[in-house]
Amino acid sequence: MIVFKEVCGYFFSIILSIKKKAGFLCLFIPLTMIAPSTVEAGLSFGSIPSSGEVQISDETAPDGTPGIRAVFWMEAEADVVYQTLRDSQHFPEFMPDTRKVFVLESGPDYQIACFSGVVGFINSDLTLKRVYDDTTRRISWSLISGLPREMTGFWLVEKDPHRSGSFVMYTSYVAKDFWFPDGIVRGLLRNNINKTAASLRKRVESGGNWKSEEYLRRER
């Protein structure tokens, strides 16, 4: 679930660019926490995306937090896709830029875990709380620690009523309280979503056997 380029890459690229140009030894950009975004369940997937296509649209939470929504189709049963997304401990095997997952706390319907990854040469650690709704096949998540300070989103998997397969929806919102155009915030969220969808599809459609080249290189 955690796509480190998608979540952090754009922020880091901006920070490094400013540091290089201004010669600063460090740069601190405060991100003040706001109330978590609320997204209603039972969302419609709209038009049916063709196999392999990822439909991305801009979203705004009720509190004004900018975000994106991505929808794509997979030739796999909805329960299989959901369980793959639920099993975060295997994310390093196929999720882009995710190297390690440390489960800190868990229960029947939730998990708190640290997702460790890398963006270029920069290490990144995000601690997330993930809440599972097995009935609707929805995984809601919120950031506990990491950069940015306030981030929410969810995965939602539904059966395709017209053919054998399922729809997958990914939605993410990133809060800001400094001057940062919504377009840039959405740009960082859009970054690498196609790669994420492709990796998830390969993993699920291979019966859980496919592993990324990135993971295989690390294991050699």
Instruction: Please list the alpha-helical segments (H only) found in the chain.
Output: 4, 10-22, 78-86, 182-190, 193-205, 213-219
Identify the pLDDT of residue 176: 62
Identify the pLDDT of residue 15: 41
Identify the pLDDT of residue 189: 67
Ranges in the chain, pLDDT < 50 = 3-43
Domains in the chain (CATH in brackets) are 4-23+53-206 (3.30.530.20)
Give residue-wise pLDDT tens across range 193-217.
888 999 999 999 999 999 999 999 9
Spatial CB neighbours of 135, under 8 Å, sequence gap ≥ 6: none
Buried b (16+ CB within 10 A) or exposed e, 132-152: beeeebbbbbbbeebbbbbbb
Which H or E run contains 32? none
Chain mean position to CA 190:
10
Identify the pLDDT of residue 156: 96
CB 131 within 8 A of CB 139: yes
Numbers of helices and strands, H then E, in the chain = 6, 8
The closest of 91, 87, 134 to 116, measured between CA atoms, is 91
Residue 73 CA to residue 53 CA, distance in Å, equals 7
Residue 48 CA to residue 167 CA, distance in Å, equals 8
Question: SS3 of 91, please?
Answer: helix
Distant-in-sequence contacts of 13-17, Cβ < 8 A, 24+ apart: 14/184
Identify the pLDDT of residue 140: 97
Identify the pLDDT of residue 66: 82
